[in-house]
Chains A and B, each alone.
Chain A
Amino acid sequence: MISKRLLLVGMTVGAVFLSASVQARVLIQNKGSDTLVNVAQAWAEAYQTIDPDVAVAVSGGGSGTGIAALINGTVDLANTSRAMKQKEIDLARSKGQNPVQHIVGYDALVVYLHKDNPAESLSIPQLAEIYGKYGETENWSQLNIEIPGCKGQEMVIVSRQNNSGSYVYFRQAVLGKMRDYKMGTRDMHGSKDVVELVENTPCAIGFSGLAYATPEVKLACIAMEDGAPCVMPSVETALDRSYPIARPLFMYTNGEPTGKIQEYLNWILSDEGQCIIRKKGYAPVQNVTCN
């Protein structure tokens, strides 16, 4: 009697193990950027129905975390919202890894303003004077802007912590490689916190991803040069590259991808995968029609 029951239990356990190993023969480890983590999760879930043999384990932690994991050889796909630095590529090579870059989408970096701020457009040189070291602009009245409810028209400049992908990209795109941010910026710990602070502070200006936009904040129209026509941030303007501060989003593989990882990446870049990233508020790599 007892032995029969044992046998039954054993068979059940065996069957569970067997079915589990059949269902997930390949496990893809996917880690990195917090900007991309929601999209990466949506991709992983949707891919279950495409190829049940593949399981994708997604975790966030930031671009730096994904890159560090790739350097240590513990992930198959690293998500980043900035390109790897030469120093990081060299470090990876010295450890026997060979990072290969794949662009999987674009993100418009939006300059957020308080909804009472009357400013319509800002140019890249103006932004550089606001954010850059030795920048002259400290006051909204210097730009001939008067914000109701803003004490002394003093600018409250909101930035991100100094190793986030957004911080690095904004510095490179707006300030130029050789210029630092000025002292005294409020360095928020997350894309959402930037929008939250700008929403509640009339004097504030801040940058964050388009996916974090809410109806309570104003999106600035950005011009490449003073006097040039400005472009509103949107999925469309990020897609046709007319918006000046749209950044590519990357996935890095170790060496040219093969087998199931290659299939997964190809699917991400297919119309079906690109429709998912579009739905999450980012621009796809190519024009896609989604239902």
Chain B
Amino acid sequence: MTGTVRSLAAATPSARKQLDQLDRAWYIDKIVQFIVFASGISAIIFIVGIFIFVTKEGFGFILGAFDFAEFFGSPRWKPTSEYNPTYGILALIAGTASVTGLAMLIAIPFSIGAAIYVAEFATGKTREALKVLVELLAAIPSVVWGFIALSLMNPLIIELFDVPVGLNILNAGIILALMAAPIMTSIAEDALKAVPDRYREAAEALGATRWQVISKVVLPAAKNGLLGAVLLGVGRGFGETMAVLMATGHSINLPDSIFDSVRALTATIASELGETVVGSDHYQALFTIGIFLFLITFVINLCADLVVRGIGKV
């Protein structure tokens, strides 16, 4: 058998070469197929892996010391109390919700406005400069934003609003809005750019003014992308940890004004997990907060997906 092949190869070297190349191409094809497949499903593997890990670490608490009414209904988060540890996250939920809400109130009009200007009005150098600056803003690390909140915004808010302390919902909301705005602007601008020019031309041909073109044609056509930008901003606000930890005052409180200090879910995990004994109730309670955060982001993303699809059908 080998003898035959050898003699064949010896007889027609060019044919042999061709056969080799065919083999190689076939193998490369298979390998590339496998790599692409693996990267394709890796996201699923990672997300399932993370969910299993987080659930496993928090499960002991859910089955043991967990009390649904206390966990979601009580503002008392005192896991290291010597005589009566309590695990209530109501105040933390209120903190995260109020800060993210205020940040979105500030960031949405600003970033949509900026995106409209960059995409529809600005031209040439102004446009390029603005795009670069917006992207630069997105590159500032969150701990630097935290420092700005602590050393710059805190005295400024005390002075301007005449309040006892400047680490509060307002401070964190502004910082978070500034952090989320660049990403929202970039995505919103892409969405506006994706609207075909012939829509604009058609509207202009019908005698529409520039504002009419934007408000009646471009914005409705880009609404899915704009919604995506807003939801990405919400996600950023929800997940942000370091800057929120430094800007909110990290104080367990049910807020009744934007000048109250609050504490966020993410910041609580970040500041306490490092020094907690692995496997203790406190450790598992922090992981239970992690599960809760995971579920919330999952629901937000699912809703976004459904809404975007629903709008797409109309």
Contacts and interface: CB of A to CB of B under 8 A. Distances in A.
A152 B164 contact: yes
Nearest to A164: B275
A151 B78 CA distance: 29
Interface stretch (B25-33, B100-108, B244-252): B244-252
A65 B155 CA distance: 34
Interface string A150-170: 111011100001111001100
Interface stretch (B34-42, B56-64, B206-214, B276-284): B276-284
Q: Which of A64, A68, A161, A177 neighbours the largest number of chain B CB atoms within 10 Å of its CB? A: A161
A100 B167 CA distance: 42
B271 to A, nearest CB: 4
Contacts, number: 102
Interface stretch (B7-15, B80-88, B195-203): B80-88
A215 interface: no
Nearest to B76: A183
A196 B150 contact: yes
Interface string B236-266: 0000000001100111110000000101000
B274 A65 contact: yes
B154 A64 contact: no
Contact of B164 (A62, A189, A203): A203
Nearest to B165: A156
Interface in A235-251: none
B173 interface: no
Contact of B272 (A71, A163, A183, A188): A163
Contact of A178 (B82, B163, B246): B82
Interface residues of B, number: 38
A204 B165 contact: yes
State the main secondary structure of chain B at its contact with A: loop
A67 interface: yes
Contact of B165 (A61, A64, A162, A186): A186
Contacts of B249: 186
A161 B271 contact: yes
Nearest to A183: B252
B79 interface: yes
A184 B251 contact: yes
Interface of A: 61-65, 67-68, 71, 88, 91, 149-152, 154-156, 161-164, 167-168, 171, 177-178, 180, 183-189, 193, 196-197, 200-204
